[in-house]
Amino acid sequence: MVDAARLRDLPKVELHVHLEGTITADTAVELAIRNGLDPDRFPGMEGRRYPARFRDFEHFVELYVGVSAAVRTPDDLATVAAGFARQQALQNVRHSEATFTATTHVNNGMEPVAMWEALRAGFAEVPETEVTLIVDAVRNLGPENADQTIRLVADADAPIAALGLAGLEMSRPIEEFAHLRSAADALGIGLVVHAGETGPPEEVLRAVDLGADRIGHGVAAASDARVLEQVVRDGVVLEVCPTSNVVIGVVADHASHPFVSLWRAGAQVTVNSDDPPFFGTTLTDELAYAERAAELGVVGLATLQRRAAEAAFLTPARREEILGEIDDWATAATG
């Protein structure tokens, strides 16, 4: 088993983490007070703390949306961005692709140019780590929200790696968002689609057919042999978030999580934290779980992080740099 110090030193890449979902309960309260809101009125908070477990996905979304709405100004957003980057740097995360719902903040009155500047400024406070953005459309808000997201990204001066599709799975047919792929191609960026988290296994294949470069979550694939076979055969990258799935009730507990079966089946799984303070976890914690559950050891952990680096939207030079750091870690850990 890999000890905590060695795991902390592992050069890491995180593909699935929501920027608004990295707001700690303390920061949410601070932002509420700063903006004249009642910090005791966040839906679902328990004594100014996030609950240890959510009733269901909708319960989590209600609190997530409430906390996101407390981010009212560019200064607020810069605080969130810097706080996230700081936590990633402490874990030796070399590269993060943070999902960000730009339409939430613009529709709450934030000016787009100032919004992008705030994000750049916040990330720049922590040069030890690199953060790029996946700007997501909200599925339950329909294709109009996707159109608005595309326009914002097209005009943005920001480190944007991809478009995304998140929100309530199955709330709208995924085919309504087919234009996200063509828009991503026109902008020269990637596309990441949430699927197979709370939805059925077939939704994973629909997201692949839509043209997704990666699948956010995708754990439902483990419950259908036909879907799993195609996911493995086609090398579909799954952004698996084990603790998230437990805390919102997708699975009963960590022992029931399909990570191990996906790993052993040969699926291209990566491990991620999703919304870390909401779920009481970190990327390092998720990797520790994966290492214990699948008995990965140094080689398996290095494989997970190499896979994340290979699936990330990086320049070839930056990818090779991070892969080299991972290889150096593995060599030192086994030498």
Spatial strand order in the sheet of 93-100: 12-18, 93-100, 130-138, 160-166, 190-195, 214-217, 237-240, 268-271
Residue 90 CB neighbour total at 10 angstroms: 14
Does residue 211 sit in helix, strand or coil? coil
Q: What is the pLDDT of residue 44?
A: 86
Half-sphere exposure of residue 62: CA atoms within 13 angstroms, side-chain side: 13
d(CA 310, CA 53): 33
Mean pLDDT of all residues in 195-199: 97
Position 296 confidence tier, pLDDT thresholds 50, 70, 90: very high
pLDDT of residue 119: 98
Residue 95, sorted as left (phi over 0), alpha (psi -120 to 50) or beta, turns out to be: beta
Q: Does residue 1 register a pLDDT over 90?
A: no
Instruction: Tell me the backbone φ, ψ of residue 212, rounded to 5 degrees.
Output: -65, 135
Instruction: Please tell me the predicted confidence (pLDDT) of residue 289.
Output: 98
Helix (H/G/I), strand (E/B), else coil: 82: helix
Rg of the chain, C-alpha, whole Å:
19
Phi-psi region at 189: left, alpha or beta (left = phi > 0; alpha = psi -120 to 50): beta
pLDDT one-digit tens code per residue, 2-26 = 999 999 999 999 999 999 999 999 9
Q: Is the pLDDT of residue 310 over 90?
A: yes
CB 24 within 8 A of CB 42: no
Query: Over the stretch 56-114, which tens digit does the pLDDT of each residue have?
Result: 999 999 999 999 999 999 999 999 999 999 999 999 999 999 999 999 999 999 999 99
Q: What is the pLDDT of residue 46?
A: 87
Find the mean pLDDT for residues 198-220: 98
Distance CA 104, CA 76 (A): 14
| Percent of the chain with pLDDT strictly greater than 70 | 100
Tell me the two tokens of residue 290: 């994966």
3-class state of residue 177 by DSSP: helix
| Nearest CA among 115, 98, 95 for reference residue 106 | 115
Q: Which 3 state secondary structure label does DSSP give 43? A: coil
Q: What is the pLDDT of residue 335?
A: 78
Confidence category of residue 245, pLDDT binned at 50, 70, 90: very high
Q: What is the mean pLDDT of the chain?
A: 97
Secondary structure (3-state) at 159: coil
pLDDT score, position 135: 98
Catalytic residue annotation: 197
Q: What is the DSSP string of 257-291?
A: -THHHHHHHT-EEEE--BSHHHHT--HHHHHHHHH
In the chain, what percentage of residues exceed pLDDT 90?
97
